Structure 1
Amino acid sequence: MSLLRVAQTLTRTVRPLSMSVPRAGAHDDIMEKWPADRFDKHFIDYLSRPEIDGWEVRKALSELHDFDVIPAPKVVEAALRACRRVNDYSLTLRFLEAIKIKCGAGKNRELVYGYIINQVKPVLEELGISTPEDLGLDKPELFIPQAEYWWEKKWYKEYGYDKKPGYEF
């Protein structure tokens, strides 16, 4: 076989590098191409499959969290049902905490997160799921403010220590 023939064979079998490496952030195209209802339907259909396992639920919730959106209550309901189907209670709590973080801070968090929780409350009661606030997980368990840690002072008001005697610094 001649050298020219070998070179032609190699050029036909090797794919260009640009085709073999996925583009960074390629899944963000879904948000640009799909309308909101199709985006929601994608996750609802995926999470509503009866044969879904724990790994697939975690994959879907991780993918959902990667998008710069707060999931609609319908998607949250599907995720809660999927977590219950695979019997992973800790995942439901982490998912609700992630939603709360995505809702921002301050008054916006109270409004948006409160709205989502009110919308999914019937599903929470049906499945027997408590929110992190109901379980007392929204406040740190072992937080003890200390004067020398000045960066913690921003947490005092958030966790109610600004009203307790002995914590004025």
Structure 2
Amino acid sequence: MVRAAAVRPAPFAVRSAVAARPFSVSASRRAEHAEETFEEFTARFEKEFDAVQDVFELQRNLNNAFAYDLVPSPSVVAAALKAARRVNDFATAVRIFEGIKAKVENKNQYQQYLDELKPLREELGVALKEDLYPEEK
């Protein structure tokens, strides 16, 4: 009989009070900081790519830079390409141009990026995916 009393369920009043609490409460939060200008964005990411020391940092910075609703400036892309070369990551260097191609609005803008970055691409030995796999369109 003593054991039966020890495992008896809690009274209904206690169980219903616990179930009546809301599952979660979230406070509304707002960011109170100013919008970052394109020039500030460019300077910040140039500095971050200049400080890259391994592949993880490079890819994290690229992910952050391409997550914004804008196309990074050619100077940011140049800093990213130099960082990719510094950490010896050819594949990421090629993918940087794939990211630019996906972000720009039209082929003319992509061509402008290619033209501006051509000397750096040749200096670093970075090929485009279109050059590596010409049959894929």
Tell me the residue number matched to 2:56: 55
What is the rounded CA distance, in whole Å, between the counterparts of 1:87 and 1:72 in structure 2?
Answer: 22
Q: Which has the larger radius of gyration?
A: 2
Q: Deviations over 1:99-153 (max 9, x none)?
A: 101113xxx2x2100000111111101111111122125x53xxxxxxxxxxxxx
Equivalent in 17, 41, 44 of residue 43 of structure 2: 41
Count of residues in correspondence between the two structures: 113
Q: Deviations over 1:65-97 (max 9, x none)?
A: 111111111011000001111111111111211
Tell me the residue number matched to 1:102: 103
What is the rounded CA distance, in whole Å, between the counterparts of 2:55 and 2:132 in structure 1?
Answer: 23
* Structure 2 portions without partners, runs of 5+: 1-24
Provide the identity percentage. Answer: 33
What is the rounded CA distance, in whole Å, between the counterparts of 1:130 and 1:117 in structure 2?
Answer: 11
The normalised TM-score by structure 1 is: 0.59
**Greater relative contact order structure (CA < 8 Å, 6+ sep):** 2
- The answer on 1:121 being equivalent to 2:99 is no
The normalised TM-score by structure 2 is: 0.72
Alpha-carbon RMSD across the aligned residues, in angstroms, is 2.5
